[in-house]
């Protein structure tokens, strides 16, 4: 590959990943065309983008960005996956797809980067156990509403008893 072609490819990778902060690097080598097409369709339906890259060119394209650590120790070709609602949701989706080994043989997580920190395959599996943004928001809302509902019940309870006693006394006369 000539220097000019490598420069064009590097520029294209840089442009596509310019707004991406966190990503995963996966292996898709060894999958036939039909399986790869089905994998891409599955990823697209889950709002996840995938781009097969040569690691050396991706390393040059991401130099100086938060994605650079993801490509430091990789060899050969890989695919970069990014998107979804948030990074934890992305990891959960990829781990879920990876669990379907019979449907997508050879699809495996090689690593990634989160907040500028490189992740290996084991750390990615750990991140998959974290709550997603949506789950965290629902837990936060529950924690906020819990004391409020408890306070309302405490205020309503004695007030209700007092109101019933007043009603009873008013009915007696």
pLDDT of residue 81: 92
pTM for this prediction: 0.70
Over residues 115-125, mean pLDDT: 83
Q: Given a cut of 70, is residue 106 above it in pLDDT?
A: yes
* DSSP bridge partners of 24: 81, 112
CA dihedral 162, 167, 168, 171 (to 10 degrees): 160
Q: Which of 115, 130, 145 is the last residue of a domain?
A: 130
Q: Are residues 159 and 148 in the same domain?
A: yes
Q: Are residues 37 and 20 in the same domain?
A: yes
Q: Given a cut of 80, is residue 172 above it in pLDDT?
A: no
SS3 category, 48: strand
Q: Are residues 101 and 167 in the same domain?
A: no
Domain count of the fold of the chain: 2
Q: Are residues 17 and 50 in the same domain?
A: yes
Q: Are residues 99 and 140 in the same domain?
A: no
Cα(134)–Cα(46) distance, integer angstroms: 15
Q: Are residues 115 and 79 in the same domain?
A: yes
Q: Are residues 109 and 152 in the same domain?
A: no
What Cα–Cα distance (Å) separates residue 136 from each residue in 48, 89, 123, 131? 21, 12, 20, 6
pLDDT of residue 142: 78
Over residues 57-76, mean pLDDT: 85
Cα(42)–Cα(108) distance, integer angstroms: 15
Q: Are residues 97 and 33 in the same domain?
A: yes
pLDDT band at 41 (very low <50, low <70, confident <90, very high): very high
Q: Are residues 151 and 105 in the same domain?
A: no
């Amino acid at each position: 590959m000539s220097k000019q072609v490598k420069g064009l490819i590097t520029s294209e990778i840089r442009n596509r990943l310019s707004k991406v902060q966190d990503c995963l690097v996966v292996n898709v080598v060894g999958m036939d065309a039909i399986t790869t097409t089905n994998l891409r369709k599955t990823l697209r339906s889950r709002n996840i983008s995938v781009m097969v890259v040569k690691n050396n060119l991706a390393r040059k394209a991401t130099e100086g960005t938060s994605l650079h650590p993801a490509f430091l120790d990789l060899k050969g070709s890989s695919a970069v996956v990014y998107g979804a609602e948030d990074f934890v949701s992305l990891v959960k989706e990829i781990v879920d797809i990876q669990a379907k080994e019979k449907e997508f043989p050879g699809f495996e997580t090689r690593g990634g980067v989160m907040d500028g920190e490189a992740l290996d395959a084991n750390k990615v599996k750990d991140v998959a156990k974290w709550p997603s943004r949506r789950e965290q928001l629902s837990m936060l809302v529950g924690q906020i509403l819990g004391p409020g509902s408890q306070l309302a019940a405490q205020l309503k309870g004695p007030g209700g008893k007092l109101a019933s006693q007043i009603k009873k006394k008013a009915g007696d006369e």
